A and B are shown apart, each in its own frame.
Chain A
Amino acid sequence: MIKVKGIGLTQFGELWDKDLKDLIKEAADKALDDAGMDVNEIESVYIGSMLCGEVSEQSNLGGIFSEIYGVNIPVSRVEAACASGGMASYTAIQAIKSGSINNALVIGVEKMTDIPANQMSELLMQAGAEDERTAGATFPSLFGMMTQAHMNKFGTTIEQLHFAAMICHRNAANNPLAQFKHEVSEGQIACSADIAEPLKMLHCSPISDGAAAIVLSNEEKSTDDDAFILNESLATDTISLAERENLYTLKSTQIASKQLFANSEVSIKDIGAVELHDCFSIAACMALEDIGFVDKGKGGEALEKIYNGDNKLPTLNPSGGLKASGHPVGATGVKQIAEIALQIRGQAGDRQVKDMTYGLTHNIGGSGGTTVMHLIGKI
């Protein structure tokens, strides 16, 4: 079994006094400390980062890790756009499952606020298609078109999508490491600036710095509160929206979710909390449907129900999600696993979800070209 043995998180936000190396070190130090392990016990390191070369002008992250810790172990950088962190975790798990290593350190890191937002908007479109870049599309615009498609097909309303942001901000108010530790109202969302119609600023996740790290170990020993990776899945889909059957479904998420629960004793009804990839409010709505928590077209209603405390649905994004906890893109997928593991350990403080036995994470790259999911629980 693969235990989440150590967890380390930095603050997410505008961290102007910390560079890429500082963030890697802080998260890794905390994860090793939490695991009660020395770096020399780690056999391989996997670092998820999308834009370290473009923003920090720093590639070759293996050398960075070696220099910080004075070790010469294998270190791989893993890139899958906003799913880089989830993909780094997935890759580490495959290495442990292969039997070649027992202890891996996974780090997700992104430094985004060193450059102007309009340049970041351009860089993030590396996760889109060439035709989309030529058209001047931005990520909010791709998800804006998905929002319109979902509204036209299912009658989803913008007011229903407000609940995605309201849920995340309410949860982030109890997360000391979140970028925005305050609630937002329907009125504030409706009055926020237009980004890409019909999406407003408060439907969009922010630009953030931050890092997250986990130590994964091949271990059978368990106390009642240990969190284990029970399964993981990975699926891809076309990079261009134009090549998809429709804009209101993420096929990669549907496939990954089906794989995650295939041959598992855990059912989707057992999930107590989910950290899903709410880069934009419509993404939360579609993920609830495509993962299978609700029928297709019912995501908008589900968001409202979750906000109003419906206990038939899981707790959504207890960390505050991408929207309010922040979205340092390479760090997000690792932070999601860290958050669910904290919840299972019963160490989530004021945002602790009651009776947590199983949780899952959902991390997408780009507009859904990649989906990585992890099922985490007690054994």
Chain B
Amino acid sequence: MNIQPPKVWRKSKNFKELIGRTGTVLNFTKIHVLPASNINKKPYYVSLVELENGKKMTVQIADSEHVNLKTGAKVRLILRKNAVSDNGLIQYSIKAMIDE
């Protein structure tokens, strides 16, 4: 993934309206063969979630290695460090945490 300052800044503008929102897991998959940008991670879940306002989004599940994800699971959107670029730019992104 191409981590560029303007892109990271532009994307961060909608964080405020997403953080803390709750939703439900509609579909999910666990990715075992990882793309180059996530090559150092352990297998992780990506999920299609439906938020309480009816909006759907594709999002990575935070702390995937400790989760046994199921359809219908309740999630909460959080901000997490996603990646660091070669020139040290930290990219944060919205992820979903299982809402116990």
Q: Do the two shown chains form a genuine complex with each other? A: yes
Please report which residues of chain A, range 227-267, place their CB below 8 angstroms from some CB of chain B when the two chains form the complex.
Answer: 240-243, 247
Is A140 interfacial (CB-CB < 8 Å)?
A: yes
User: In the complex, A197 Cα to B61 Cα: how many Å?
Assistant: 15
- Interface pair B36/A118, CB less than 8 Å apart: yes
Is A187 interfacial (CB-CB < 8 Å)?
A: no
- Interface pair A121/B35, CB less than 8 Å apart: yes
Is B37 interfacial (CB-CB < 8 Å)?
A: yes
- Interface pair A145/B38, CB less than 8 Å apart: no
Is A15 interfacial (CB-CB < 8 Å)?
A: no
Min CB–CB distance B94 → chain A (angstroms) = 8
**If A136-B44, A136-B46 touch, does A144 touch B38 (CB 8 Å cutoff)?**
no
User: In the complex, A138 Cα to B39 Cα: how many Å?
Assistant: 12
Is B30 interfacial (CB-CB < 8 Å)?
A: yes
Binds B, one of A188-196, A321-329, A354-362: A188-196
- Interface pair B33/A140, CB less than 8 Å apart: yes
- Interface pair A131/B58, CB less than 8 Å apart: yes
Contacts of A197 in B (CB 8 A): 29-30, 32
Is A18 interfacial (CB-CB < 8 Å)?
A: no
Min CB–CB distance A223 → chain B (angstroms) = 48
Is B56 interfacial (CB-CB < 8 Å)?
A: yes
- Chain A 129-162, CB-CB to B under 8 Å as 1, else 0, gives 1111111111011001110110010000000000
Is B60 interfacial (CB-CB < 8 Å)?
A: yes
- Interface pair A122/B35, CB less than 8 Å apart: yes
Min CB–CB distance A258 → chain B (angstroms) = 26
Q: Which residue of B lies closest to A240 (CB)?
A: B58
- Interface size of B in residues (CB-CB distance below 8 Å): 31
Contacts of A199 in B (CB 8 A): 29
- Interface pair B32/A196, CB less than 8 Å apart: yes
- Interface pair B29/A144, CB less than 8 Å apart: yes
Contacts of B71 in A (CB 8 A): 148, 152
Min CB–CB distance A241 → chain B (angstroms) = 6
**If A118-B39, A241-B48 touch, does A137 touch B32 (CB 8 Å cutoff)?**
no
Give the interface residue-count category, chain A.
35 or more
The DSSP consensus for interface residues of chain B is: strand
Please report which residues of chain B, range 33-77, place their CB below 8 angstroms from some CB of chain A when the two chains form the complex.
Answer: 33-39, 41, 44, 46-48, 56-60, 71
- Interface pair A149/B27, CB less than 8 Å apart: yes
Is B11 interfacial (CB-CB < 8 Å)?
A: yes
User: In the complex, A199 Cα to B48 Cα: how many Å?
Assistant: 17
User: In the complex, A295 Cα to B77 Cα: how many Å?
Assistant: 38
Contacts of B48 in A (CB 8 A): 145, 241-242, 247
Is A98 interfacial (CB-CB < 8 Å)?
A: no
- Interface pair A193/B36, CB less than 8 Å apart: no
Is A125 interfacial (CB-CB < 8 Å)?
A: yes
B28, B32, B34, B44: which contacts A118 (Cβ < 8 A)? B34
Q: Which residue of A lies closest to B64 (CB)?
A: A136
- Interface pair A135/B30, CB less than 8 Å apart: no
- Interface pair A141/B56, CB less than 8 Å apart: no
- Interface pair A196/B29, CB less than 8 Å apart: yes
- Interface pair A195/B32, CB less than 8 Å apart: yes
Contacts of A133 in B (CB 8 A): 1
With A118-B39, A121-B36 already in contact, 14 other A-B pairs whose C-beta atoms are closer than 8 Å: A118-B36, A132-B46, A135-B46, A135-B95, A138-B33, A145-B47, A145-B48, A146-B27, A148-B29, A149-B27, A152-B71, A199-B29, A242-B48, A243-B56
22 A-B residue pairs with CB within 8 Å: A118-B39, A119-B36, A121-B35, A121-B36, A122-B37, A125-B35, A132-B46, A133-B1, A134-B1, A134-B93, A135-B46, A135-B93, A135-B95, A136-B38, A137-B31, A141-B46, A144-B29, A149-B26, A196-B30, A196-B31, A242-B48, A242-B58
Which 5 pairs between the two chains have the least Cβ-Cβ distance? A144-B29, A242-B56, A194-B32, A145-B27, A118-B36
